[in-house]
Amino acid sequence: MSETLIAEEEDIAKAAKCLKAMSHPLRLKILCILGRGPASVQEIVEQVGTTQSNVSQHLAVLRDKGLLTFDKRANRVFYRIDDQRTLKLIEMIRDVFCRHDGSAAID
């Protein structure tokens, strides 16, 4: 392929920032959970099986990198994926690294 895939430095920096935020297994798992729809911090904690403090730290990274937004309802905070392109990227990751039978496509 002779064409440069990403030519602009700004675009490369943006992509690297997003991929770096997603590169931690727990953050990717959180994004997969939020791909199904908004969830409270407590719901995320229950699904990932770690502490609220740990989840909150990772949510802060994802929020700071612009991947998540949140809404406060009463005394609960609900997170959601801010940009639908993030969902497309996760779907592509699934297609490349996962098989439908649950085995890894690439080791």
pLDDT band at 101 (very low <50, low <70, confident <90, very high): low
Condensed to tens digits (0 to 9), the pLDDT of residues 6-46 reads: 888 998 998 898 899 999 999 999 999 999 999 999 999 99
25-97 placed in CATH 1.10.10.10: yes
Domain boundaries, the chain: 25-97
Q: Tell me how far apart the alpha carbons of residues 107 and 103 are, in angstroms, rounded to a whole number.
A: 10
What was the pLDDT predicted at 105? Answer: 53
Tell me which residue of 25, 26, 18 sits closest to 63, measured CA to CA: 18
